[in-house]
């Protein structure tokens, strides 16, 4: 079946439950016929499902979960495996559009004993010699949750720097910074980011635009108080930041999902912690990041409330005062949806609570 045919069947937002269910049944039948397996179960793999609650348009995300719920009904032969960050699990559990039952499985970090295989196996295929001392040191450094992508990044850096087909302990140690207490895995991304700025020589307004790109669109604070990445729509980021963002992408510090070229995200969360420039920006904006996330949740609650309950879901007290300040001082840091929600809510505010000036929607 052509991709366009599938989109016609399921993309129409006005399609009712019965219409979508019939389309799903027809789609399942087409897949079975094509595979010559009339009784086969059909697996739907879903990766990076956290994007449903970040970069995805809220209406599209809701429609996706509605269709998924219908696909997983007992009358249809579909089953799904969804991978997502554990800190988004609460959002999935509370998603009203997802009515299908599901089981949760937590995946722990890769056992440290397997890390040498990750280094030696590909190196053997590529004809690259690897010092055993380097393998053991890298394995020790990689005993953290986000170390595997950093290990891949460091190996690529070592390969690019080496004039011979040898990965040595000395070359690996050269990526680190003992004075700063950073392992080669942690420091590799910092050095790469500093090199990007040193080569670009950005003007101050370009640096400020880069700061506005990261805060708040590309970073959030999780429940453990740590800075973590979140995908952002590239067209929502400052125009003057695009050149530096592209350079960071070329340096493999940012990534663009293959199935969504319009979004961008931090490739390695160590960058948020170990790049001094970015970390200083985040620390200065920490209160705003946390407050902005709370504002996003408050707006979701307000939008989901029934009309009779909306007045009780309005911002009050400190939250309202803080939101007023952001509306005046940082309107470009608020999404069009947030500005629209405020515009819809202002008519319901008490006269004494309504700001004297509301920014217009972008």
pLDDT digits (tens, 9 = 90+) for 258-284: 666 788 999 988 899 889 999 999 999
Of 37-41, 178-182, 186-190, the poorest mean pLDDT is in: 178-182
pLDDT confidence bin for 56, thresholds 50/70/90: confident
Pairing of strands 263-266, 232-233: antiparallel
DSSP symbol at 225 = S
Is the distance from CB of 172 to CB of 184 less than 8 angstroms? yes
Give the CA dihedral 68, 73, 77, 82, nearest 10 degrees.
Answer: 40
Contact status, residue 159 vs residue 166, Cβ threshold 8 Å: no
pLDDT bucket at 360, cuts 50 / 70 / 90 = very low
* % of the chain exceeding 70 in pLDDT: 83
Q: How confident is the model at residue 82, as a pLDDT? A: 96
pLDDT above 90 for 148: no
306 vs 178, higher pLDDT: 178
Other Cβ atoms within 10 Å of 247 Cβ, number: 18
Phi/psi of residue 247, each to 5°?
Answer: -65, -40
Query: For residues 79 and 71, what is the distance between their CA atoms, to the nearest angstrom?
Result: 8
- For residues 83 and 107, what is the distance between their CA atoms, to the nearest angstrom? 10
- Identify whether the C-beta of residue 269 lies closer than 8 Å to the C-beta of residue 228: yes
**DSSP at 110:** P
The β-bridge partners of 318 are none
Per-residue pLDDT of 191-210, as tens digits, reads 999 999 999 999 999 999 99
Which ranges of the chain does DSSP label H, i.e. alpha helix? Answer: 3-10, 17-35, 58-71, 89-93, 115-126, 132-141, 147-161, 169-173, 184-200, 204-213, 242-250, 270-274, 276-284, 286-304, 317-329, 336-346
- 342 has a pLDDT exceeding 70: no
pLDDT at 339 > cutoff 70 = no
In sequence order, the 6+-apart residues with CB closer than 8 A to the CB of 117 are none
User: 190 with 274: CB under 8 angstroms?
Assistant: yes
Is the separation of the CB atoms in 355 and 326 below 8 Å? no
pTM score: 0.69
Q: What is the pLDDT of residues 58-98, one digit of tens each?
A: 788 889 999 999 999 999 999 999 999 888 888 899 898 99
Question: What is the pairing mode between strands 129-130 and 227-229?
Answer: unpaired
Better-predicted residue by pLDDT, 161 or 3: 161
> What are the tens digits of pLDDT across the range 279-321?
999 999 998 888 888 877 777 777 777 777 777 777 667 777 7
Question: In this predicted structure, which of 26-30, 48-52, 80-84, 167-171 has the lowest mean pLDDT?
Answer: 48-52
Q: Residue 8 pLDDT > 80, yes or no? A: no
Instruction: Give CA–CA dist 150/74, Å, rounded.
Output: 42
- Give me Rg for the CA atoms of the chain: 24
Whether pLDDT at 336 is above 60: yes
The per-residue pLDDT for 3 is 37
For residue 212, the model assigns a pLDDT of: 92
Give the pLDDT of residue 269: 87
Hunting for tokens 């973590």 — which residue is that? 228
């Amino acid at each position: 079946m052509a991709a366009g045919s599938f989109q016609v069947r399921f993309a129409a937002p006005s399609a009712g439950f019965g219409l979508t269910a019939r389309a799903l049944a027809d789609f399942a039948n087409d897949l079975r016929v094509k595979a010559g397996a009339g009784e086969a179960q059909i697996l739907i793999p879903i990766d990076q499902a956290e994007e449903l609650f970040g970069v995805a348009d809220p209406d599209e995300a809701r429609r996706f979960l509605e269709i998924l719920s219908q696909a997983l009904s007992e009358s249809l032969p579909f089953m799904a495996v969804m991978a997502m960050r554990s800190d988004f699990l609460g959002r999935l559990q509370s998603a009203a559009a997802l009515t299908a039952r599901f089981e949760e499985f937590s995946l722990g970090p890769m056992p440290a004993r397997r890390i040498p295989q990750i280094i030696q196996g590909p190196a053997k295929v590529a004809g690259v010699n690897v010092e055993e001392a380097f393998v053991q040191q890298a394995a020790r450094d990689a005993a953290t949750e986000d170390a595997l992508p950093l290990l891949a990044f460091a190996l690529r850096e070592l390969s690019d720097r080496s004039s011979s087909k040898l990965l040595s302990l000395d070359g690996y140690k050269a990526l680190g910074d003992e004075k700063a207490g950073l392992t080669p895995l942690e420091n590799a991304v910092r050095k790469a980011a500093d090199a990007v700025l040193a080569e670009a020589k950005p003007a101050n307004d370009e640096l400020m635009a880069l700061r506005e790109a990261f805060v708040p669109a590309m970073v959030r604070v999780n429940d453990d108080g740590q800075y973590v990445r979140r995908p952002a729509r590239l067209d929502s980021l400052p125009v003057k930041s695009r050149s530096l963002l592209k350079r960071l992408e070329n340096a493999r510090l940012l990534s663009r999902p293959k199935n969504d070229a319009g979004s961008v995200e931090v490739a390695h969360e160590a960058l948020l912690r170990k790049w001094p420039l970015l970390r200083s920006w985040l620390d200065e904006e920490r209160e705003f990041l946390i407050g902005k996330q709370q504002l996003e949740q408050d707006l979701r609650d307000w939008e989901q409330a029934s009309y009779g309950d909306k007045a009780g879901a309005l911002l009050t007290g400190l939250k309202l005062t803080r939101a007023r300040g952001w509306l005046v001082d940082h309107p470009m840091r608020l999404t069009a949806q947030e500005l629209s929600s405020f515009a819809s809510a202002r008519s319901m505010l008490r006269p004494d609570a309504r700001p004297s000036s509301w920014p217009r929607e972008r």
